[in-house]
Amino acid sequence: MDHIHMVPHRGKSTVIPFVPIRELFTSPMYLTYEGSLTEPPCEETVTWVILNKPGYITADQLWHLQSLRRGNHGQTLPITGNFRPLQPLNTRAIRTNIPPYSLGCSTVNTTSLYQAVDLTGR
């Protein structure tokens, strides 16, 4: 995040120091599911990882993220709307390494494979 201000536009690049992937994780516990890219061609080739605890950024880091622009230098198109509506589950399974007893469930399910519930109503 400390180098984001150096690449505000497409085509810019900068060298960043090596960051061990473990430093990005806020918790050793997580959920995963197979999904798709969020922008076209939206291919289903992504394994999404949802950490059990949120990561935090500073107000300055948020400002730098919000300052990123689409296009080349001089264009003022902010990166907004880079999400897509909820998609059908297509029988996706949610996997986790979170022990069932830590989920606060009244009944203990010893499996670590959970079937997602479709909240989109589709």
Q: Is 68 helix (H, G, I), strand (E, B) or coil?
A: coil
Domains of the chain in start order, with CATH, are 4-115 (3.10.200.10)
> What's the mean per-residue pLDDT of the chain?
75
**pTM of this structure:** 0.59
pLDDT of residue 45: 92
Q: What does the alpha-carbon distance between residue 78 and residue 57 come to, in Å, rounded to a whole number? A: 20
pLDDT of residue 108: 47
Per residue in 46-74, pLDDT tens? 999 999 888 888 898 888 887 777 666 56
Report in angstroms the alpha-carbon separations of 26 from 3, 53, 88.
20, 6, 29
Tokens of 55: 């990561």
Q: Are 51 and 26 in contact (CB under 8 A)?
A: yes
Q: What does the alpha-carbon distance between residue 88 and residue 25 come to, in Å, rounded to a whole number? A: 28
- Say yes or no to pLDDT of 32 above 90: yes
Neighbour count for residue 34 (Cβ, 10 Å): 14
